[in-house]
Amino acid sequence: MASQLHVYVPPHPLIKHWLGVARNAATPPPLFKSAIKELGRWLTYEAVRDWLPTEELTVQTPVAPCAATMVNPDVPLVVVPILRAGLGLLEGAQTLLPLASIYHFGLVRNEETLEATCYLNKLPKQFAPQTRVLITEPMLATGGSIMMTMAELTERGVDPALTRIISVVTAPPALQKLGKVYPSLTIYTATIDEELNSQGYIVPGLGDAGDRLFGTEG
Ligand code: URA
């Protein structure tokens, strides 16, 4: 059977709460940053459930030997934040995946054409087989940035079936593009909004995630 893009919106009250805080235009940048960090933490918690490789070991408690299921440190774990805004989710993801390697990928969007251009690519030439990749990108809107990131990753040996994306707000154009080319991919998002406006912003969305995180103006 052909695989199909998996998109999960975890029904978690803390994810809903922090999404509400992030959506509110009256939320000041420091609180917005905390909200995105919390969303990074909770979405990562949900996303790694069936993704983190484990191994069965025996540990010695103070009383007796005991079977233990531990995270397997030999399987490479990677987080790829898409700059700028992916840095906000990275902070939360890193608290759960302290041993993951972080490869920054910087994209800037041309506000007229809505096309993404890469200004920083710290990805290695090749990823080891079985590498688990978590991409952090708060806004999946037109799909331009995430498609460019996926193309760079798969060119370097990343398996989309071992890749998870965490996102705060996702819109149908990005999901359609990802589903066509990477049907084995899995996405965890706080919400799916219905549409984009003529500037490529998600409606209702939360505005410009990068500007709100870093207190800048577009
Ligand atoms: N990027 C953002 O920061 N916000 C949007 O609504 C779409 C893309």
Q: How far apart are CA 122 and CA 103, in angstroms?
A: 5
Q: Has residue 193 been placed in a domain?
A: yes
Q: Is residue 59 a part of any domain in this protein?
A: no
Residue 50 CA to ligand 1 centre (angstroms): 29
Q: What is the CATH number of the domain that holds 194?
A: 3.40.50.2020
Average pLDDT on 120-139 reads 97
Residue 1: pLDDT band (50, 70, 90) is: very low
Whether the link from the prior residue into 204 is cis, omega within 30° of 0, is yes
Question: Which protein residue has the closest C-alpha to ligand 1 atom 5?
Answer: 201
Atom 7 in ligand 1: residue holding the nearest Cα: 201
- The number of domains in the chain is 1
Eight-class DSSP state of 141:
S
Confidence of residue 110 (pLDDT cuts 50, 70, 90): confident
CA distances for 164 relative to 48, 147, 161, angstroms: 8, 14, 8
Q: What value does the mean pLDDT take over residues 87-93?
A: 98
Quote the domain boundaries for residue 99: 6-50+75-214
Q: What is the mean pLDDT of the chain?
A: 95
Q: Output the CA 12–ligand 1 centroid distance in Å.
A: 23
Q: How far is the CA of 129 from the centre of ligand 1 (A)?
A: 33
- In a domain? residue 68: no
What pLDDT is stored for residue 152 in this prediction? 98
pLDDT at 30 over 60: yes
88 C-beta closer than 6 A to ligand 1:
no
Per-residue pLDDT, averaged over 190-205, amounts to 96
Q: Which helix (H) or strand (E) holds 65?
A: strand 65-71
Q: Is residue 100 part of a domain?
A: yes
Mean pLDDT (whole number) for 173-178? 97
pLDDT of residue 212: 97
